[in-house]
Amino acid sequence: MFDSIGWGEIVVLGLAALFIFGPDRLPTLARDAAQGLKKAREAITGVRGQLHDSLGDDFDQLRDLDLRKYHPKTFIRDQLMGDGDTPPAQAAVSRPVRVVRDRSRPAPYDTDAT
């Protein structure tokens, strides 16, 4: 649960709570927090059970669904890069393109030629 918080930070938070709330109120606050977490877990379990009852076998398929592949950035990257060995966008860039222009006529964007 505390993957990003180490034991040192937990001790510091505990000491800060002890100084802020005092030794008299800290046990009741800890008990209230534990009861709140227990109620939240029961509510989540109830919602999960209701979803499983209403969706049936589709719920198991939703559990295996990877939502990260539907992130807009990932979706666009997959569409641009393609599924082959060489992505289409890189294949188009990797081929040199030689533009040959007729030097007898001025370019259409050339403002000096009249």
114 within domain boundaries: no
User: What CA–CA distance (Å, rounded) separates 98 from 109?
Assistant: 19
5 within domain boundaries: no
Provide the number of structural domains found in the chain: 2
How confident is the model at residue 63, as a pLDDT?
73
- If asked whether residues 59 and 79 sit together in one domain, one would say no
pLDDT tens, position by position, 60-88: 777 777 777 778 888 888 888 775 554 45
Range of the domain at 74: 66-95
- If asked whether residues 30 and 51 sit together in one domain, one would say yes
The residue that leads in pLDDT, 23 or 101, is 23
Task: Tell me the mean pLDDT in the region 106-113.
Answer: 60
45 within domain boundaries: yes
75 within domain boundaries: yes
18 within domain boundaries: no
Which parts of the chain fold into alpha helices (H)?
7-55, 57-63, 72-81, 88-94
Name the least confident of 1-5, 53-57, 94-98: 94-98
